[in-house]
Structure formats: structure tokens, C-alpha cells
Structure 1
Amino acid sequence: MSKIRLFLNIVLITSLFIPNKGYALGDFFQEQLDMVNAVIKDQFQRVEEAVNTKYDEAVKVQTKVKDYIEEQQKKISDDVNNYVDKVKENGRYLIDTWSFMPTDDPASRLENPDLVLSVPSIITRNGYNCETHTVLSEGFLLNVHRIPRSKHGREIPKKTVLLQHGLFASSADWILNGPEKSLGYVLADAGYDVWMTNIRGNKYSKEHAWLKENTKEYWNFSWNEVALFDIPAVIDYIRKVKGEDAKIAYIGHSMGTTILFTMLSLRPEYNEKLSVGLALAPEVFISNMKSPIKSLASVTSHIAHTEMVYGAHEFLPKKSFLGQMNKMCEAQQMDSYVCDNVIFYICGADDEQFNRTLLPFFLSNLGTGTSWKTALHMSQLVMSEKFQQFDYGYADRNQRIYGSDTPPEYDLSKVTLNVTLFWAQNDLLSNEKDVMKLHEKLPSSTLYLVPFPKFNHIDYLWAKDAPRLVNDKVLEILDEAMKPKVRDLFFPFRF
């Protein structure tokens, strides 16, 4: 009521100052009403225009989101269809591979106690001393298995070799072919102090000082972190045990070679801490691989994203299909022949060098733990055709980490270590073109073609004729690299 009184008083006072005596009070009210209506109409039009503008913008955003979703769905669909087509295309090779049936009797295969023993227990059972050394790196407790001397030796030799396994593997790779054939034993008998690593996350290096295994933070690594932190920590540990002047030879297989070249490009000071490098089946440039798993590269990012969204950060753990292959491929079952040939299908068929009795042992140590980030990083090498750091998929995130929209390539010109690249014509994962590309980019490298046409990616580990085809050459290279320099012969003392 007070507001109405105030309005009437204003009207009354205003009317006292109206110069025209004939100006009717009704006209005044009408004029005021028209003015208010005009203001209200103007405000309504402005609000209506603003609402229409926002609505149009919302429709545009909705359209963009819809188009983006359709684009991503189409991309995923195309990637999956391409993968299916590739599998169909390679189907005849799978059939050809599975058609191979061996002549030996499965019933003759005896149960192998090595299937349930740890690497140190197997080494000890074969008459060698074995030590386990634990190295701390970024909280991971890395267990390194060491054969310090030959079976009959008493003194620990000064000559030292570091063996680095590949993807899905462990230190078991270097002993699975038994004494006289596996490099772990062969090198020990040849007078070398042998150290066999286990990368973070595998079954021998699962422990972490503060992170739990089922967390995202635990599995947030690829081989980049292994090369940047873990292997340098192991090398420094060995030098602390052996002496700062100890020179260490590095032998890597498959992803073990990826780790070597990554480490030497990111930490070039380690070129001087190693005496020589041997890369068995190098995995650096891998876009030309012939293995059917290449067709998985295009869908790995989608699968990895889905898996990680649901909290699965470990890639193919023991409970997975691959991790359970050893249980499905027991030595007493005919199915093991299929398992043999699935490996041939992926790595290259070589029934002549394949020791089938090793299959259960090999499979029991397969899938020992790695991260989805590692698998995704590998697929990026296939798709990019470059040897580059991990691509986070977003320009702004790459900018925060690398200072560029795309991940930088590893600088192979910094790898000054003398490296021998071992390659084989039937290796479906380490293709000749890719090996030659690596050879051209390295400042100091030599090539060694394994003299057996059917030799494949994993024959380095279990070939029947490994001593003749690989080990003899390895020993020749190491012996040459470990020879004292002329300077050291004439000036053995340091001043």
C-alpha cells in the first residue's frame, strides 16, 4: 500500500507543474502507461532474441557432438572391420600353419618340474649358483637373477653381461633351453658374470614400496620408464658390486632391445658404462612387421581406453586368456599342437628348430605382467612408423609433458655404443626393412643375419641349434669387446 501511495503522490505533485491547464490527468496516465509498455516490449524483444541466440548455439553444439560421436563410432567400426579383414586375409596362413602335425607321440612327454619352479630354483637344480639382487627404482623392487660363475668355477669373473628379456617375459627366457644351449648358462660357462633383469610389473618384480598392484598409478609406465630409470639403476648397482671401472655387455631380445636404444638416447652417459650391445631381433622401427598382430595396432588404443576406464591397467594378466594358455596347452593334450602353431603364426613357423618339449615351460612363463600403456606404446610405433615417445593423444597434454603437440622421437644419433643387430629372414616381428632402417640411423652398428632361413623371433631363446646359429657369434663378439685395449696392456696403471 505504501508504494501505491507514493505513486499517487508523485502523480499529484507532477500535475501541479503541468503548464497546460487543459492537460487531462487521464492523458498523463495514458502517456505513462505507453512508456512502460514500450519499455516492457523492448525488454521482452531483447530477452527473446537472447533466448533464440542461445538456442541456436545449443543446437549447433548438439549437432557438433552428434557428428563427433558418429565420426568416432565410424572410426572404431572401420578399425574393427579392417582388423577382421586382415585376420580373414591371413586366415589361409593360419590354416597352413595349423596343418603341420608332428610325428612324435605326446604320451612320451614327461612332466617337467621346471613348470612349478622359480628361475633361481631351476638354475640351482641344474648345478649352478644363483643369487637374487633387489634394486629399488621409483619404488619398484626389481629382482635381478645372477649366475655369478660357471658350474665348476670358484672365482667370480670380472667380465659381466646384462641380459634383458622382451615383452610378456622374464629372466626365465635366458635359461629355458637348458644348459649348453641357453645363453644364461652358456655365458656363465664361458667365464662371464651373468645378470638377468626382470622389468617392473612382471612376476619377479611385482612389489612396490608404496603403490598397490591394482592401482592406476602402479601401471602408469611403458618401456620408456624402464629405460629411463630401471635399467640405469640396475647398471649402477652392478657397478657398485663389481667396481666403478666394470664394463658391462648388454644383450637384449625383442623389447629388450627397445629398452637399450631408448636408454642410450635418453641417458647417453650410459654409452660409456657399457662395453658392447647385442640386439637380438631388434624392435625399434616395427611398421613393416609381417606378423598378423600388426592388424591389432589400429584398435589397440580403443581397447586400451575401454580397459583402463573399467580399471584394468595390467595388460593380459595371468587370469586372462593368454595368461592361461599354459593350462590349455598341457603336454599330454593334442591341443598343444595347436598352441605350437599359434606361436608360429605370430612369430614365424620353424618346425625344424622348435623343441616342443619346451612349450609348457615357455607358456608357464608367458604373460608375466606388463601395462596397457606398454602395449599402446608399441602400437603407436606401428602406426606412426617412428621411434618416438608415448603419445598421450591430446595436443595440450603432449605440450605439458614434451613442450610440443606431438611426442618427440628418440634421438638415435646419441647411441654411440657399438651394437650388433641380429636378424632373421623368417622373423615376422622384426622385419628386414625395419632392421636396415635402424642400422642406417645408428652411428656404430653391425649386422648379423642368422644363417638359417626358417629362424624366427623366439628361436633365439629355444632353437635346437642355438649354439651354432646364435651363441657362437655372441661369444665371438663379447670376447672381442672384452679384450684389453693396447693402451691398457702397456699402461696398466692409472695415475
Structure 2
Amino acid sequence: MQILLITIVIFMNHNQYVKCGSVVDLMYNKMSGIKDFFLDTYTAIRTRINTVFHLGTGSHDSTSNNTKKQSVTNIRLSSVLKRSNPLRVHSQPGVQTASPGEDIAHRPAHILTTPQLAATHGRIIETHVTYTLDGYILTLHRLRTNKVFDETDYESKKRIILLHHGLLGSSADWILLGPKKALPYILSDQGHDVWMANARGNYYSRAHIGLNLNSDEYWNFSWQEIGERDLPAILDYIRKTSNSTEPIDYIGHSMGATALLVLLSVEHNYNRYIRIAFLLAPLTFMAHTRGPMEMMAKIEETALIKLLGTREFLPNRRTEVPAKYAELISKLCNDLDIYCRNPLFFLAGSPMQEGTRTVESADQLQEYAPAGGSSKTIIHYLMLIASKKFHHYKRPDWQFKLKYISTPMLILSSNDDLISNATDNQMLYLSILNPLGHIIIKDQNFSHTEFAWGFNADLLIYYKIRDLIELGPDVITIQ
């Protein structure tokens, strides 16, 4: 109707007499002009969105124009503009958002972002943005590779690999070990196309199209929504951006493994999109979880909510412990004070390997962890401990149907892990349709967090994953 009205106005203001035979030509010319107008308007709006969101942040942005072009956003304009206030990106008051969803107030100013940290390692990471159906804006990081491979040789073609961080983590977790040991670099050096996810609520994915960061509504999610909403958006975006129909290889640590199992059990078609999944210390069945989380699971739900709150789980990393937590911590944590006061290490267990516990390493880990998450995420895990089942939030009778998961999966556990127990993971192994094996790391002082940061993680895990990716699920035989 609008185009018709514009066309009528154009003809009313046209001073020349128009013969019937030339009407079609004139209409064509005018409509071409209208098309150009709308294209120009679209470009202007897109540029405005890029400006508001400050796309392409990170140390690589100043290197070249080509690199800037590779920092891509997947804001689907036609859908976003249908929502109210599409340019409304919430952050802390008075703080400018450096990239979509990145909350500078949450991240200490002296801490490098994932792209900046990669730059110190001599690597370049692109920043990509997508959004979920329920309006959460997510940041993805993609590691560029200079590896040249033979396009005509199928066996040499690179894989698309998605890494998803664990509980209260971020994409930075995967590269903290540095240029020689970090898993993304090991995979990228093989020529693979490596992506790193950031779940809603961490400091790279802290924006929403319509909800305020400081509202209960924003933080009303657990790992269930990360699996049901975040992962489909991420996988769809990667497939579209990579322009590939090849299935993706997935590596999930802790909550990253939980999220994948949720997705594949409720959206069965996504099993076709994953070639192989590596589950590092997955959190599903948690009947044998030990430590603080086991004790907290015995607390009544109302008291838990009063203790943990309804929004972000302990947003400050290196501050004095609130009085309401001090007594609990003193009873449950016998580790070094620097670890007992960190929410992530208090829950999941601190690093145990000698090299990971150096003063320098401890200080770095303290700065990057935790990276943000909801209290509801923690409470949902505590429900699994209490029920001894893998189920929906507050619904122990609604268990996730793992028997529908057909994706080939390899499970990796450690007998030194407090919260992802090898016995529980064997239950997972028996519950999925296509398990490739269950590797248990024994007597290596390898805690839950060290699947991402362990000093010997490259030797114990990462090179195995690299080699198994090259072999493919059809060749892997692990008992």
C-alpha cells in the first residue's frame, strides 16, 4: 500500500503528459528509483546499527580494512526491526558498550578481551554477533587461521569446530593456556575453522533487545535455555556464515556439554548438524557430586533463592565475601583463601595440578573467572544433585530424553573432579544412543576447571581430541 501511494504521488507531480504506451516504462523507471531508495535506507540503518553496537572490537580491528570486514554481525534486520526498540542494548548506567553485549563494568578494565588476549599470542580473532528467539544478543569469537589446505582433497579439508565454555565461563577460558597449549590454537594450526561461544549472561553476551540487565526477567534462565535457545542460534549462524552444509564438530566443557545434550534431546533435527561431540566433564547426572555443591543441594529451595538471589550469581570476583556466605565458605572450603573466595573455584574445585597453581596462573584465573551467569543456573544443577536425574527446571518428572540423541559422542572425565563424577558420566554413556567411548583421567590431580586450564591439559586431552577429529567418528573405537 505504501509503495502504491508513493507511486500515485510521483505521477501526480509529474509535469509531462504520459501516453498509455509509455506508462509501463515510466513505472519501471520510478520503481527502480524507489528500489534504490530502500536499498540506500537499508544500508544507512545497517551502518547505524554497526555504529551503535561498535562492531569489530578487539586488537585486530586496527590492523587492516579487510580484517574489519570480517567482524560480522548477524542481526537479521527484517526480524529485529519488527521488535520494539531494536537498538536498545542495555549495559551498566553511564558505561559505553564496547561490543554487542560486552559489559565493561563487569569486566575489570585492565583485563584483555578474548580478541585482545589472542593478539598477545600472535593470533587474530573475529567478533561475530547473533541473537536468540527470546531476544538475547550473543557474541561469538572466531579464530582466523593462515593454514593453507587443498580444496580438491576431501581428507585435507578443514572442519568447522565449535567450542562452548563451562559453568560461569567465557570464550577466554579456552585460550588462557597461551599460544603453545590452548586447544583452539592446536585445532587452528591443523587448518580447522574454530569458533568459541559465549552463553547468555557472561560478559560478552550481556545484552538483550528489550530486557534490562538489572531486571529479574533478564536473569530468568538456566542452562536449559542456553541449550534450547542459545545453541540453535549459534549453530544456525555458524552454518550460514561459513556457507557450509557440512556437520560441525562440537567440544563442550561442563555446562557447554549440558547445553548440547539439552538441545539434541529436545530438537532432534540438530543431531544432523553435529558430526561428533566431545563432552569434557559434562554435568548431567550428578548423584555422586561432592564438595560444596553437594552440601548446598540439601538446602531447601526457598532458602537457596534467598541465599543466591534471583539475578546474577555473585557478580563480583575479587571482593570481600558477603557476610551471608562467609560461614558457609569457612565450613565447606579448605583450600587457599584465594580460591575459596572465588565463586567458581568454591563450587567446582580449585586447580590441583602443580603448574596451574603457580601464583601467576592463579592471579590470571582469578581475573577471568567467573565470567558471569545466573543464580538460576546454579540452582538447576543443585536440583539435579538432589533428584539424581537429568531433568527440566523444577520438574524432576520431565527428564531430558537422552535416548533420542544420535550424535556420536565421546565423554572425558577425571576421578579428581568434584562435580562431574566418572560414575555419573558412565550413566550418561549408557543413556545416549551413539557413544564412542568414555575416557577417564586417573590420578593426575585433574580437577573440573582444569579441562580448560590444566597445565597438562594439552598432553592429557587436547592432542587426543585433535587426532580423533582427524580420524572422524566412523573410525574411533574407544572402550
TM over 0.5: yes
Q: TM-score, normalised by structure 2?
A: 0.67
Residue 423 of structure 1 corresponds to 413
Determine which of 125, 145, 150 is the counterpart of 2:141: 145
Q: Does 1:372 align with 2:375?
A: yes
Amino acid at match of 2:128: H
- Sort the Cα spacing of 1:145 and 1:476 in 2 relative to 1 into closer, same or farther, 3 A: same
Residue 15 of structure 2 corresponds to none
Residue 282 of structure 2 corresponds to 282
How far, CA to CA, are the matches of 1:131 and 1:390 in structure 2? 35
Residue 358 of structure 1 corresponds to 361
Kindly indicate whether the alpha-carbon contact (under 8 Å) linking 1:323 and 1:367 is maintained by their aligned counterparts in 2: no
- Sort the Cα spacing of 1:351 and 1:245 in 2 relative to 1 into closer, same or farther, 3 A: closer
- Sort the Cα spacing of 1:165 and 1:177 in 2 relative to 1 into closer, same or farther, 3 A: same
How far, CA to CA, are the matches of 1:340 and 1:321 in structure 2? 12
Unaligned runs of 5+ in 2: 1-107, 152-156, 323-334
Determine which of 379, 382, 385 is the counterpart of 1:382: 385
Q: TM-score, normalised by structure 1?
A: 0.65
Amino acid at match of 2:379: L
Q: CA offset at residue 293 of structure 1?
A: 2.5
Q: Does 1:339 align with 2:354?
A: no
Residue 445 of structure 2 corresponds to 454
Residue 210 of structure 1 corresponds to 210
Q: Does 1:133 align with 2:128?
A: yes
- Sort the Cα spacing of 1:337 and 1:249 in 2 relative to 1 into closer, same or farther, 3 A: same
Residue 270 of structure 1 corresponds to 270
Q: CA offset at residue 321 of structure 1?
A: 4.9
How far, CA to CA, are the matches of 1:198 and 1:362 in structure 2? 17
How far, CA to CA, are the matches of 1:344 and 1:214 in structure 2? 25
Amino acid at match of 2:417: D
- Sort the Cα spacing of 1:367 and 1:123 in 2 relative to 1 into closer, same or farther, 3 A: same
Residue 465 of structure 2 corresponds to 474
For residues 351-403 of structure 1, what are the alpha-carbon distances to aligned partners after superposition, in whole Å with 9 as ceiling and x for unaligned? 434242222221112132211221111110000000000017xxxxxxxxxxx
- Sort the Cα spacing of 1:322 and 1:161 in 2 relative to 1 into closer, same or farther, 3 A: farther
Structural RMSD (CA): 2.9
Q: CA offset at residue 260 of structure 1?
A: 1.1
Q: CA offset at residue 341 of structure 1?
A: 7.2
Secondary structure class of the residue paired with 1:215: coil
How far, CA to CA, are the matches of 1:423 and 1:183 in structure 2? 17
Amino acid at match of 2:113: S
Q: How many residues align?
A: 346
Amino acid at match of 1:205: S
Secondary structure class of the residue paired with 1:298: coil
Residue 410 of structure 1 corresponds to 400
Residue 169 of structure 1 corresponds to 169
Residue 45 of structure 2 corresponds to none
Residue 67 of structure 2 corresponds to none
Amino acid at match of 1:436: Q
How far, CA to CA, are the matches of 1:371 and 1:114 in structure 2? 22
How far, CA to CA, are the matches of 1:270 and 1:167 in structure 2? 23
Percent identity for Structure 1 against Structure 2: 32
Secondary structure class of the residue paired with 2:297: helix
Kindly indicate whether the alpha-carbon contact (under 8 Å) linking 1:323 and 1:366 is maintained by their aligned counterparts in 2: no
How far, CA to CA, are the matches of 1:114 and 1:275 in structure 2? 39
Secondary structure class of the residue paired with 1:135: strand
Kindly indicate whether the alpha-carbon contact (under 8 Å) linking 1:135 and 1:141 is maintained by their aligned counterparts in 2: yes
Amino acid at match of 2:462: N
Determine which of 118, 123, 126 is the counterpart of 1:123: 118
Residue 246 of structure 1 corresponds to 246
- Sort the Cα spacing of 1:440 and 1:115 in 2 relative to 1 into closer, same or farther, 3 A: farther
Residue 42 of structure 1 corresponds to none
